[in-house]
A and B are shown apart, each in its own frame.
Chain A
Amino acid sequence: KNEVEQSPQNLTAQEGEFITINCSYSVGISALHWLQQHPGGGIVSLFMLSSGKKKHGRLIATINIQEKHSSLHITASHPRDSAVYICAANIRSGGSNYKLTFGKGTLLTVNP
């Protein structure tokens, strides 16, 4: 079982809809990243969170450390938001060492 689980795997929305992508993890972490990957494109870091909430434009990321859960929200979604969204958790791997473990990604398609 992957230590980082994302849901849903695929998400189709109409332009303007509010989008939520979820990420849960099973062990203690020091931080969680949200990444965006456009089709055929590179990977861009959106957020790094260790607590609370961060906002950048129409994107909002939240994390609940106690519940081991993070969400990425997109307000007023647009076709250009269509991409794969990946969460990655910095998981303790022994002592003071951490390793970055990636979810499998959520493919978001926003239709005009």
Chain B
Amino acid sequence: NAGVTQTPKFQVLKTGQSMTLQCAQDMNHNSMYWYRQDPGMGLRLIYYSASEGTTDKGEVPNGYNVSRLNKREFSLRLESAAPSQTSVYFCASSEMARGLNEKLFFGSGTQLSVL
């Protein structure tokens, strides 16, 4: 039981390059999330998916796109990377029940640098 698997762990991009961060969970959770974590700031929600086939913007969606490919997988794409997107990215999942976030499970994070 791997939990939430996130790849890659590290990535360096040049401004304007594109890339996709992959995330998969094996806990049959409905809800999946992408966050970014920057120094001095709390985790901020980029996009989330409440169920397969649905996605919604979070606090900081600009410059990102997501795909909920199936119940297991939720990918985050940077179409044209910018230095402001240098950050640590976390994928998470939870079994949303009764409007509450149940226990959250996080991936190990991706450290992304955009030069």
Contact assessment for A103 and B101 in the assembled complex, using a CB-CB cutoff below 8 Å:
no
CB nearest neighbor in A for B109: A42
**B102 interface hit (Cβ, 8 Å):** yes
Contact assessment for A103 and B42 in the assembled complex, using a CB-CB cutoff below 8 Å:
yes
**A35 interface hit (Cβ, 8 Å):** yes
Q: For this complex, into which size category does the number of interface residues on chain B fall?
A: 20 to 34
CB nearest neighbor in A for B40: A104
A-B contact count (CB 8 A): 56
Contacts of A90 in B (CB 8 A): 100-101
Contacts of A86 in B (CB 8 A): 42-43
Task: Looking at the assembled complex, report how far the CB atom of A61 sits from the nearest CB atom of chain B, in whole angstroms.
Answer: 13
Q: How far is the CA of A84 from the CA of B43 in the complex (A)?
A: 12
Instruction: Given A90-B100, A98-B101, decide whether A42 and B42 contact each other with a Cβ distance below 8 A.
Output: no
Interface size on A, residues (CB 8 A): 26
Contacts of B100 in A (CB 8 A): 30-31, 50, 90, 98
**A27 interface hit (Cβ, 8 Å):** no
Q: How far is the CA of A31 from the CA of B98 in the complex (A)?
A: 12
Beyond A35-B106, A88-B42, A100-B45: 16 further Cβ-contacts under 8 Å? A30-B99, A42-B107, A42-B108, A43-B90, A45-B103, A45-B106, A48-B101, A48-B102, A86-B43, A88-B43, A90-B100, A97-B99, A98-B99, A99-B45, A104-B41, A104-B42
Ranked 4 nearest A-B pairs via Cβ = A102-B42, A43-B106, A42-B108, A102-B43
Contact surface of B with A, Cβ cutoff 8 Å: 40-45, 58, 90, 92, 99-109
